[in-house]
Structure 1
Amino acid sequence: MMISSNVLLLLATVLGIVSGRRNVVLSLDNPLRAGDEIVIEGHGYAGSKGVIRLYDSESTCYGRKGAVNPLVLKLLCRMRLIEILRKNELTNCIDRAHVRRSLPQIGAGRHYKITIEVQQDGYHIKSREHGRSHSIYRTTGDVGSVGMIRAYSGDYSDISVKRFVPLPREECGVRSVPQVRTRIAGGTDALPGEFPWQAAIRKYQVFDWDPVPHLCGGALIRDCWILTAAHCTEQMRQRIDDFYVRLGDYDNNDASSTTYGEDEQDLAIDKVFPHEDYQSGNNPPNDISLIKLKKVDGVCAAISENVMPACLPDPGLDNFTASAQCEISGWGARRHGDAATRYPNILQKGKVKLKSARECRDIYGQNRHGRYLVQDGMVCAAGAADTCQGDSGGPLVCQRDRTDSQSPFVIWGLTSWGEGCGQKLKPGVYTRVLSYVSWIDSVISTNGD
């Protein structure tokens, strides 16, 4: 009896016979650095445990001498699990931080895709299925000096490294007015030009039942690009011509830019790019979107003292941690529940301090499915001031070096969600921009600068 090649191929898949490579070694010219991403693709192989190691080839125990091993992954395809291990030479290479996570995608014969994002303080491991990424685990600690990636005892179709190549830097994060120490809900009036990256997303048409043109905040990051929350752009995607972006504003109720020496620039919207993994809801993950502005005579925003991009975080440089003091701004409500007609006309500002991820997760707890409401890609901040309705999508900025008055401001967060406004034990939750720098650069470079 003859068996067709198609049947043999099917049997090979079901039995877990290798269709790719069992052993792959990737030697890097330069060690991995923050912003890089490792992409691993393969098929679940029932007969063995797939292993992926990241290590420094010049040391023992596959890790930098005297330091925690960067990372070891084990794919337990038969049980549809993934294990994350780390080793330490000082403890005779004993496994450390042994973590096990469910990963249905790696079942025998199934195609899987795993990504490992290199961050300044660890690795973020994700899986991807049906066009959506799913967070598996985020490690913390020394990432070591990884120059080798080895995969073995599996069925690997492709392993690659996407190097983070930042867009060319432009002048950013500089403001011409002096920093004034003051303490949005609980905020105070900003000074004209104090937040030159502040954007307002507005509606062209207003009605008796909807009389306020202001919709959301945003932040200028390049002359043709605005960063905002994805939940702010949901209704814009089908009616993009109904909205525009205003830059250089201070009093958003005046018809003239001369009253406060403003530099109001109203710019039409070309395209909107919400994050592909954004999910709407009360505490939405991946709540980030890019707005591309239309050029007029080859120009979008005209940079001036009142219109200046905020700096994007540098994965190799910026790592603002708990208790870092940052600033928020916007034209949103001063108190929770205020109608839009009571929003302040003058741009408001406030100072807040970042919270640790653990503290924020403990505060907001879990949903009925046992998942923390504060997820990866989010950051919390609290202080005497807080963001509120109408501030959504607006910037949370931190000064790179607070001992230097000329040091630039980095956009660290985008107003996303929270419970109430200004509640003492409920910090505001922001999209953590550092987690999306590679995505931002990819969208801008692919769709023109």
Structure 2
Amino acid sequence: MTSLSRWKLFIFLLIEAIGHVSSQGHRSVTRAFNPSLRPGDVITIQGTGSTRSVGLIRLHSEKGTCDSNPRLRSDLGQAPLSCNPLVLKLLTRKHKILFLKKDVESENKDVLIKTKLTSGLMRRMPYTITITVTYTGYDVQFNNDVPIEFVNRNRVGDVNMIRATSGNYDNIMLKRGANIPLNEPDCGQRGANIFRSKWARITNGQNADPGAYPWQVALRRKHVYPWAPYAHMCGGSLVSSCWVVTAAHCVLYVGRHKKNFMIRVGDLHNGDNSMYIMDEDQQTFDIEHVIVHPDFKDRPVPKNDIALIKLVEKHGRCARYGEYVNSVCLPEPGQDVFATNTECHITGWGAKNWTDRPRDYPHVLQYGKIRLHDFNTCKELYGRDPISNISQISEGMICAGAPGIDTCQGDSGGPLVCERGGPTFGEDNPFVLWGITSWGHGCADSVKPGVYADVTKYIDWIQKVRSKIF
């Protein structure tokens, strides 16, 4: 080799080395998530186009959650398999990104779902990949391209690690709770096989059909005592897999003694009677957090009577949706408006009349249809508190009722739901949580309607709480 050739080779290698150093990141980066990923979380991956042809980015679920035969593997002394609900394969030379997944259905092999071509994926060129966790999977955005939706609903809640290999990765960052969706995709939908009765009521009411109100939950004591002989305490509404909305006055002492209480979803018969097992899907959860609205006051009447309950996960997830379990929609700001006289639904396991004791409460979920009242008219009906001279009806409250129909003791915290688009024969319109059972003058008073917390006034607070607590 001539001296000139040697110089050319030296210069070429020097340029390659400089380019390699300038683009050198970490060949492999691993980040663990504790707790596991939640809807609204955003993962940002910053890297540089690799000189190698293939880079791999894998989300890892909890080990064993998608193992096709964990028992056999355990008998053989082998570790359980982990699955990858999202795999991004970066093909730098082909300017291509492959979207894959690996789970029990694929027999633990990577399966191609989508392909994206992008000219931005080039050797030694910096890039940013953003993965936003949704309720149905992941939205993946490369640089400033249009996000691609990757649906894999069954594995969103299990992910506790990301691993990037065979590339130049500068950083992997996680931002918790950014842009948490207000509602889940199928919120407010009822069971497919319900019989839609024209009329029923809670006070002196009738039984609800199985799956008619799949968002109804029960706050219950785990143990009964002579001074508290009944398990049922209050109702509530499932607004996402892990979150329940209820009345603040129901949980004032629950937060300090969470281990003594539980939330039951998917229940029709508010007890343990096995005769209803085919008409319900009971799921019981411990309570992780209780958050009472900071401005709640219980006297002279409950004000800002709203609280949130965070459920404790089981195997990386909370409530499992189906025929008898689903979330109710929260009001979409600027979209959901229900006028005075709109017909809405109330539900609960509370008393059928004012004189009932807890032992007389109905065992099967009751429901009724009532109408929204004009705010100012209700304010006049209730007047002022005789001691404080403060108006009993104030902002953050709504009134609703019908002759002889009302919520009663034991129904507190439960839902007042209105059908989006109104009742339409043959249509499955979603239901919206418009109110939370709060207080009233007796039960089914002939003059004064029931009073409910106005959910629309608390949407910002609900979202703020959910974005901070994981």
String of CA shifts for 1:146-167, please: whole Å, max 9, x gaps. xxxxxxxxxxxxxxxxx99853
**Which of the numbers 290, 293, 299 marks the counterpart of 1:275?**
293
What is the one-letter code of the residue matched to 2:411? D
1:342-381 pair list within 5 angstroms: 342-367=360-385, 368-381=387-400
| Deviation digits for residues 366-424 of structure 1 (CA, Å, limit 9, x no counterpart) | 12443210110000001141000000000000001124421100000000000100111
Please list every run of 5 or more consecutive structure 2 residues that lacks an aligned counterpart in the other structure: 1-177
After superposition, the Cα gap between the structure-2 partners of 1:330 and 1:168, relative to the gap in structure 1 and judged at 3 Å, is: closer
- Residue 302 of structure 2: which of 274, 281, 284 is its match? 284
**Based on CA coordinates, which of the two structures has the bigger radius of gyration?**
2
Q: Which residue does 1:312 correspond to in 2?
A: 330
Deviations 1:299-332 (A, max 9, x none): 1101111000000001111111210000000000
Query: Contact between 1:167 and 1:445, CA under 8 Å: does it hold in 2?
Result: no
- Please state how far the C-alpha of 1:178 moved relative to its aligned partner: 4.0
Aligned to 2:251, the other structure's residue is in SS state helix
Structure 2 residue corresponding to 1:223, chosen from 217, 241, 252: 241
Per-residue Cα deviation, 1:1-60 (whole angstroms, up to 9, x for no partner): xxxxxxxxxxxxxxxxxxxxxxxxxxxxxxxxxxxxxxxxxxxxxxxxxxxxxxxxxxxx
Q: Deviations over 1:228-279 (max 9, x none)?
A: 0000010101111100000011111234375442100011100001101111
Tell me the amino acid that sits aligned with residue 431 of structure 1. A
One-letter code aligned to 1:170? P
- Listed as ranges, the matches of 1:16-415 within 5 Å are 166-167=181-182, 169-176=184-191, 177-183=194-200, 184-256=202-274, 258-367=276-385, 368-383=387-402, 384-404=404-424, 405-415=427-437
Give the residue type in structure 1 aligned to 2:407: T
- What amino acid is aligned across from residue 445 of structure 1 in structure 2? S
Secondary structure of the corresponding residue to residue 218 of structure 1: strand
SS at match of 1:195: coil
How far did residue 283 of structure 1 move? 1.5
Q: Does residue 1:436 correspond to 2:458, yes or no? A: yes
Q: Distance in 1 between matches of 2:400 and 2:324?
A: 26
Contact 1:400 1:408 in 2 (8 A): yes
TM-score (norm 2): 0.59
User: Compared with structure 1, are the counterparts of its residues 403 and 191 closer, same or farther at alpha carbon in structure 2 (3 Å cutoff)?
Assistant: closer
Query: What is the distance in 2 between the residues matched to 1:357 and 1:396?
Result: 16
Percent identity, please. Answer: 42
CA change 1:282–1:198 in 2 (3 A) is farther
Question: In 1, are the aligned partners of 2:204 and 2:352 still within 8 Å (CA)?
Answer: yes
Contact 1:327 1:397 in 2 (8 A): yes
Larger displacement relative to structure 2 (287-296 or 361-370): 361-370
Return closer, same or farther for 1:282/1:241 CA change in 2, 3 Å cut-off: farther
CA change 1:412–1:164 in 2 (3 A) is farther
Per-residue CA deviations over 1:331-374 (Å, capped at 9, x if unaligned) read 00001031111100010000100001101101100124432101
Partner AA of 2:449 in structure 1: P
Contact 1:164–1:438 (CA<8 Å) still a contact in 2? no
Asked if the contact 1:218/1:228 (under 8 Å) is kept, the reply is yes
The 3 A distance-change label for structure 1 pair 353 and 166 is: same
Deviation at 1:170, TM superposition (A): 2.9
Provide the aligned length of Structure 1 versus Structure 2.
Answer: 286
Structure 1, unaligned runs of 5 or more? 1-162
SS in 1 for 2:367: strand
CA distance in 1, matches of 2:183, 2:282: 26
Shift of 1:187: 2.2
Whether the 8 Å contact between 1:186 and 1:350 is mirrored in structure 2 is no
| Cα distance in structure 1, aligned partners of 2:399 and 2:183 | 29
TM-score normalised by the chain length of structure 1? 0.61
